[in-house]
Structure 1
Amino acid sequence: MTTRVLISFFCDDRPGVIEQLSALINQHGGNWLDSQLSRLGGRFAGVLQAQLPEDQQEALGDALSRLEADGIICSLTDAGAAPQESLATQRLTLLGPDRPGIVRELTRALRMAGFNIRSMETSVETAPMSGEPLFRAEACIELHSDSRLDELEWQLDAMADSMTLEIDLIPD
């Protein structure tokens, strides 16, 4: 019998980290499935899903914890049940002057309208002409039977006006 696990990690950014992790998964009869990996600041972080024999989960967890001696901090957890299918998705893009609270306001609007974030990437960039910091976000959001698109559009319009942001919703 096999199981799916999630492995999260972070460490100093250096060559060979993914090779170490994939070798351990392979040594325990596992298969690397999905992953999201990124350098943030001077650190490298990621989360991945792997499938492996159930009787290897504890041994893999022990092996991952020994990577701390190499500066790789890992956590292993059961992947849980597959999520229920959403009715549809929308792509949300946001761009505007960087300031504290943008992510908090955005996620509050999504929650209040009954939406779930499937994925989100954010960055702060330098504006080409002014050199001012610009906040950029891209998210894939899930619409469910109880989601209220009109409520979300109203919330996002109010947020865009008050924070001088450009926010677009595009059906996937």
Structure 2
Amino acid sequence: MTTRVLISFFCDDRPGVIEQLSALISDHEGNWLDSQLSRLGGRFAGVLQAQIPQAQHEPLNSALNDLSGVGITASLTDAGDASEASLGTQRLTLMGPDRPGIVRELTRALRSAGFNVRSMKTAVETAPMSGEPLFRAEASIELHEGSRLDELEWKLDAMAETMTLEIDLIPD
């Protein structure tokens, strides 16, 4: 019997990290499925989903723990069951002057209107004309039974006005 697992890791950014992780998965009769990997600052971090035989769960977990000897901090957990069925997705984009609290206010609005973040990517860039820090976010959000799109739109409009942001919500 096989099981799906999640492996999260971080380490100093250097060539060969993904090769080391993929070799461990292969050595434990596993299959690399999905992943989100990124360089953040001078570190490399990610989370991946793999399918492995149930009998390889503990040996793979042990092998991942041994990676600390080469500077990779990794952990293994069961992937769990998929959550309730989504009624659809919306793509949210956000851009404006960087300031503390943007992600907190955005996720607060999403949660209170009954939406779930499926994926989100954020970055701080330099604005072309002014050179000021510019915050960008793009997210895929799921609609579920009880999600209130009108409430979310109202909250995002208020947030955009208060924080001088441009926020767009586009059906997928």
**TM bracket, shorter-chain basis:** over 0.9
Match of 1:145 in 2: 145
> Deviations 1:22-65 (Å, cap 9, x if unpaired)?
00000000000000000000000000000000000000000000
In 2: Cα distance, 1:139 partner to 1:30 partner: 30
Give matches, 1:13-162, under 5 Å: 13-162=13-162
* Letter of the structure 1 residue corresponding to residue 109 of structure 2: A
In 2: Cα distance, 1:57 partner to 1:82 partner: 20
Under a length normalisation based on structure 1, what TM-score does the superposition of the two structures give? 0.99
* Letter of the structure 1 residue corresponding to residue 49 of structure 2: Q
In 1: Cα distance, 2:84 partner to 2:76 partner: 23
* Letter of the structure 2 residue corresponding to residue 11 of structure 1: C
Identity %: 81
Under a length normalisation based on structure 2, what TM-score does the superposition of the two structures give? 0.99
What stretches of structure 1 move > 6 A for 4+ residues in a row? none
Please tell me the root mean square deviation across aligned C-alpha atoms, in Å: 0.4
Tell me the matched-pair count.
172
Identify unmatched segments of 5+ residues in structure 1. none
Deviation at 1:83, TM superposition (A): 2.1
